[in-house]
A and B are shown apart, each in its own frame.
Chain A
Amino acid sequence: MGRYLARRLLQFIPVVVGTMFLLHYMTMLSIQFGGDPIRALFGDNPPPAQVIEAMRARFGLDNGCLEQKGNPCVGIFWDRMLQYLQFDFGINFRGREITDLVGERWPVTLRLTLIAIIFETIVGVILGVMAGLRKDKFVDNFVRFSTTLLIAFPTFVFGVIIQVLVALALGDWIKAQDYFPTWFKAMFTPVFLSDYPWLSLVIPGLVLGAFSLAAIARLTRTSLIENLRSDYVRTARAKGLAQRRVIGVHTLRNSLIPVVTYIGIDVGTLLGGALVTERIFNIPGVGGLVFQSVTQKDSTVVIAVVTMLTLVFLTANLIVDVFYAVLDPRIRYE
């Protein structure tokens, strides 16, 4: 276990640095080929040249290497890494610290993604197990059909449609009924309510987790069916164990190993999806911040926040890998 952990940590550092550099280099290339983001900020009415120069200097965009197409600008990368290490992620175009902006918003996004992860894991695994145990029966066909359909819905399409159907149509009806408590009504609103920091995130959370729910259900199903055919499950039956134990102990644990790995990768999907969900439901989270900054062409914020989210994603993957080793001794003793 110790050696596995050490090796995994050792792999983690170059991947983090590599991904950071990739993000940096792509940004540099975009600026070198796409043009100056400061000028783009003002569109057709540019302010005097001195103002633009001053802003360039302020955001570190006055570096000569930005003029040379293809130059990786290692100097800028180095400076930026040093700043990140001191938790200095820069300022937005209005002069506010980006760490402050994120600090205000991350609890909302954390709640949103937590709701999504809990929902998709529990419901996805249950659906997958039901389908896998009754292969080719009604439940299985139903789960296969509905998950295929769900996967075909891009998150934003699903989100806007759920917003119209559930939060508006159904929500209006619910609000008109006196016997529903206020907190229940708060759940069915098309927007975020700061008085109900968890409940008003339930529907956005379900939307965010819907795609991965379908993926988890299918993964669980396939992996369960494969394991049910395996020799060690036959051994468990030959040992005279009850069916419940054969499935619950000998099959399920093995079948959930790929699901755990998937959830690690899924953190990335969810953080991207939060952009979409927070935009649709007007949620003041980190994704909403990215979207807002995109609209305002504030690329410093976009890059800094995406950098933070990428770090969160990589760390989540590291944690999942450790968990994976706990579940599967073959990895642990490799």
Chain B
Amino acid sequence: MTETTIESKRGTENEVLANLPWDANAPLLEVDNLQVEFHTRDGVAKAINGVSFTLDAGETLGILGESGCGKSVTAQAIMGILDIPPAKITGGSIKLNGVDLLQLDEKTRRHVRANKIAIIFQDALSALNPVFTVGWQLAELYRKHSGASRAQAKAKAVDLLKLVRIPAAEQRVNAFPHQFSGGMRQRVMIAMALALEPDIIIADEPTTALDVTVQAQVMQLLADLQKSQNMGLILITHDMGVVADVVDKITVMYAGDAVERADVYQIYERPAHPYTKALLESIPRVDMKGQELAAIKGLPPPLTQLPPGCSFQPRCRFAKDRCTTEDPPLYDVPGNRKSACHYWEEVFNS
């Protein structure tokens, strides 16, 4: 992707990264039993209670769930940019090629950001600094991570803008974020994430703030770039429609739990968790025109007051007495899938 090459002035950052005990055989990213709490004045909110998933190079993982289910918190925990306090990681591990990121000191962790894992935020207008030019904000990555000179970094920034197909990149590089359209700004965010050729990109609702037609373009660009660079992509969304086209596998989250894990086709064909099933039924479909949409009744519970047993049980039509007392573990479902439901077979076969 780079036409301009940079000879690193400060080897230290790359040296630190190179000297970490990477394990080539381990999965690219392995999140295991991650737990995050928020300490607020109204008590402890359990934002994530034991989320696990893996991601390999070239693979796309969709994380799906309603607002406040812990999707974004998971993303920020992986990036290491949660505000601590009020947030606190109380358990679990986040392993990148076998190295547990949670065990790294803050400085090493910082080197991992952007170099190894990068993130794309939802609202590019507020995620880009309004007082610096787009080019400056892109160039900053090269100047601070690779020790590039201002001129070199600027040239690389222009390359990046071309890579994400922004027209007239040489001129636009000197423009400020507010001078771009929504779609173009989101391309800048993607360019920023790609800058240091990371192994993983996390896209946190990358298209929610955009018009539908622009959504498709941006999504396509992201998918193309991921393929050509063979990166791992985590796509966080509440929109089942976005997920279906691009992802390989899905983790469904509800109230801080990962309630179902499966390949995308398996999920769409035959969900094994009542929440996933309800989500699928609530998508309007052309072939069901005229029939009433099945909306999910009720609201997710407040994270400070999770109900005993299964958190979805108050809204679940499959719920029985056992669900109100016993927290369901992740059951194995045929086809190398997981479901956190005592009665997954009932859901699976219904």
- Chain B binds chain A: yes
Select A232's contact among B79, B113, B127, B178, beta carbons within 8 Å.
B127
Provide the main secondary structure of the chain B interface.
helix
Among residues 117 to 152 in chain B, which have CB atoms less than 8 Å away from a CB atom of chain A? 118-119, 121, 123, 126-131, 133, 140-141, 144-145
Contacts of A329 in B (CB 8 A): 130-131, 133, 176, 178
B250 at the interface (CB under 8 A from A): no
Contacts of A328 in B (CB 8 A): 130-131
Residues of chain A at interface, number, CB under 8 A: 22
A254 to B79, CA, bound (A): 24
A242 to B143, CA, bound (A): 13
Select B112's contact among A231, A240, A327, A330, beta carbons within 8 Å.
A240
A235 to B119, CA, bound (A): 8
Contacts of B118 in A (CB 8 A): 238
Known interface pairs A238-B79, A240-B145, A241-B140; A254-B112 also in contact (CB < 8 Å): no
A239 at the interface (CB under 8 A from B): yes
A245 to B113, CA, bound (A): 15
A254 to B132, CA, bound (A): 10
A87 at the interface (CB under 8 A from B): no
B103 at the interface (CB under 8 A from A): no
Known interface pairs A329-B176, A333-B179; A237-B81 also in contact (CB < 8 Å): yes
**Residue with the greatest number of chain B CB neighbours at <10 A, chosen from A231, A240, A241:** A240
B114 at the interface (CB under 8 A from A): yes
Question: Which of chain A's residues has its CB closest to B130's CB?
Answer: A330
Contacts of A234 in B (CB 8 A): 76, 81, 121, 127
A238 to B127, CA, bound (A): 11
A87 to B139, CA, bound (A): 53
- B129/A240 in contact, CB under 8 A: no
Known interface pairs A240-B112, A242-B110; A232-B126 also in contact (CB < 8 Å): yes
- A232/B144 in contact, CB under 8 A: no
Nearest Cβ on chain A to B77's Cβ, whole angstroms: 12
Select A254's contact among B131, B141, B179, beta carbons within 8 Å.
B131
Known interface pairs A230-B126, A329-B130; A238-B110 also in contact (CB < 8 Å): no
A250 at the interface (CB under 8 A from B): yes
Known interface pairs A231-B126, A240-B114; A327-B121 also in contact (CB < 8 Å): no
Among residues 11 to 63 in chain A, which have CB atoms less than 8 Å away from a CB atom of chain B? none
Contacts of B121 in A (CB 8 A): 231, 234-235, 238
* A217-242 to B contact mask, C-beta < 8 Å, 1/0: 00000000000001110111111111
**Residue with the greatest number of chain B CB neighbours at <10 A, chosen from A239, A253, A329:** A239
Contacts of A231 in B (CB 8 A): 121, 123, 126-127
A239 to B118, CA, bound (A): 7
Contacts of B192 in A (CB 8 A): 235, 239
Provide the main secondary structure of the chain A interface.
helix
Nearest Cβ on chain B to A328's Cβ, whole angstroms: 6
Nearest Cβ on chain B to A53's Cβ, whole angstroms: 63
Contacts of A245 in B (CB 8 A): 144
Select A235's contact among B127, B144, B145, beta carbons within 8 Å.
B127
Nearest Cβ on chain B to A225's Cβ, whole angstroms: 12
- A330/B144 in contact, CB under 8 A: no
**Residue with the greatest number of chain B CB neighbours at <10 A, chosen from A231, A250, A257:** A231
A296 to B119, CA, bound (A): 71
A239 to B113, CA, bound (A): 6
Contacts of B127 in A (CB 8 A): 231-232, 234-235
B115 at the interface (CB under 8 A from A): yes
A107 to B115, CA, bound (A): 57
B111 at the interface (CB under 8 A from A): yes
* B147-183 to A contact mask, C-beta < 8 Å, 1/0: 0000000000000000000000000000010110000
Nearest Cβ on chain A to B154's Cβ, whole angstroms: 17
Nearest Cβ on chain A to B137's Cβ, whole angstroms: 8
Nearest Cβ on chain B to A208's Cβ, whole angstroms: 31
Contacts of B140 in A (CB 8 A): 239, 241
Contacts of B112 in A (CB 8 A): 240
Contacts of A250 in B (CB 8 A): 129
Nearest Cβ on chain B to A56's Cβ, whole angstroms: 58
Question: Which of chain A's residues has its CB closest to B106's CB?
Answer: A243
Contacts of A327 in B (CB 8 A): 131
* A73-100 to B contact mask, C-beta < 8 Å, 1/0: 0000000000000000000000000000
Contacts of A239 in B (CB 8 A): 113-114, 140-141, 144, 192
Nearest Cβ on chain B to A87's Cβ, whole angstroms: 40
- B115/A240 in contact, CB under 8 A: yes
A231 to B125, CA, bound (A): 9
Among residues 236 to 274 in chain A, which have CB atoms less than 8 Å away from a CB atom of chain B? 236-242, 245, 250, 253-254, 257
12 CB-based A-B contacts, threshold 8 Å: A231-B126, A234-B81, A235-B128, A237-B113, A238-B118, A238-B121, A240-B110, A240-B111, A240-B144, A242-B144, A254-B130, A330-B130
Q: Chain A interface (Cβ within 8 Å of chain B)? A: 230-232, 234-242, 245, 250, 253-254, 257, 327-330, 333
* 14 other A-B residue contacts (CB within 8 Å) besides A234-B121, A239-B113, A330-B176: A232-B126, A232-B129, A234-B76, A234-B127, A238-B121, A240-B111, A240-B114, A241-B140, A245-B144, A254-B130, A254-B131, A329-B133, A330-B178, A333-B176
List the 5 closest pairs (A to B, CB-CB), nearest first.
Answer: A240-B113, A231-B126, A240-B114, A232-B129, A231-B127
